[in-house]
Chains A and B, each alone.
Chain A
């Protein structure tokens, strides 16, 4: 079995196909797919400052790597934003791997922590509220820090490493929970209306699978040691992930079909929420669809 384009040994079989690619041609395919997603969804303008949300995992590291490769010769500026949630044994609080990469590639890295921003680490939050799944706090607080800090730093697009698998899971989660409003802000470029209080999020890996991204990270020496978040198995997402993986195994193409059919209905979903006003949180002033933003609701619960 050879690569589709040359005689070299293949390193990957592309999803839902019998296409085999070697290292060189897989890297070309990967970059082309990212460029195409950025172009088709008008993700970037030539003078943009992109903030890349970095966890140190394979998705965000691959994203920083490929965006740096594509945009280094252009006027688009890249900065990296990292958050230490304060989960013992999970995240390296010193972000050694990320720091080294950013230093080598001359990318400015900004790090923030739950402790500094909210007064508590996620482990402390977990101790205080053992009823609520920690992922609830983690997701809301991470989004809030990223948005606020991106605004402060003059970032006008926030790039995240969300991939096809993540998106298929989120679409299903929202369906199962009847959360149509949350689905309205999904898609390769998030948000319903332009609002200066929100930094628009872009997902250049929208059409790439986890497997493709892991292979890319491995081939380009940016795959750090695998560490699983101790809270990951508690989350609702994990149940949906297992269900979807089982379905994908039995019916290949399931994840792609979920995302693809979702995209064809997304304009209608967005339209349904366009008229809803965006308020300012009565506590912190952040943009929210309610009177008080979710981060402040959770902080109140904790205090």
Chain B
């Protein structure tokens, strides 16, 4: 499945082929503990099912200061 991912901390957009979040996080080398996941402005968990052409935002949980 093709997933469009926006990584807030690095301000980067990437396209990733992944079946689930576990695979997605491994591919983009992001620690799931350091982000929250949103899809269509809804908060979801890493156990949620991914759909083809999903647009995912990974918001940083690490404080900026």
Chain B 21-65 residues near chain A, CB threshold 8 A: 31, 33-34, 36, 38, 42-48, 59-65
A241 to chain B, nearest CB (A): 7
Residue from the list A1, A11, A241, A248 in contact with B43, Cβ < 8 A: A11
Q: Which of B33, B44, B60, B64 has the most CB of A within 10 A?
A: B64
A226 touches B9 (CB 8 A): yes
Nearest chain-B residue to A229 (Cβ)? Answer: B65
Quick one: which of B31, B36, B62 contacts A218, CB cutoff 8 A? Answer: B36
Interface residues on A, range: 20 to 34
Give chain A nearest CB distance to B61 CB in angstroms. 4
List, sorted by A's number, 28 A–B pairs whose CB atoms are closer than 8 Å: A9-B44, A10-B47, A11-B44, A12-B43, A20-B45, A23-B43, A55-B65, A57-B65, A58-B63, A90-B64, A90-B65, A166-B63, A210-B62, A211-B34, A211-B36, A214-B59, A214-B60, A218-B38, A219-B43, A223-B59, A226-B64, A227-B64, A228-B64, A241-B62, A245-B33, A245-B34, A248-B33, A249-B33
- Asked, given contacts A9-B44, A23-B43, whether A249 binds B64 with beta carbons under 8 Å apart, the answer is no
* Contact (A211, B45) CB under 8 Å given A226-B60, A226-B64: no
The size bracket of the interface on B is: 20 to 34
One of B33, B38, B44, B65 near A211 (C-beta < 8 A)? B33
List A residues 16-51 near B (Cβ within 8 Å). Answer: 20, 23
Chain B interface (Cβ < 8 Å from any Cβ of A): 8-9, 31, 33-34, 36, 38, 42-48, 59-65
Q: How far is the CB of B36 from chain A (nearest CB, A)?
A: 5
Residues in chain B near residue A246, CB distance under 8 A: 31
* Chain A positions 220 through 245: 1 when the CB is less than 8 Å from some CB of chain B, otherwise 0: 00010011110010000000010001
- CB pair B36 A214 closer than 8 Å: yes
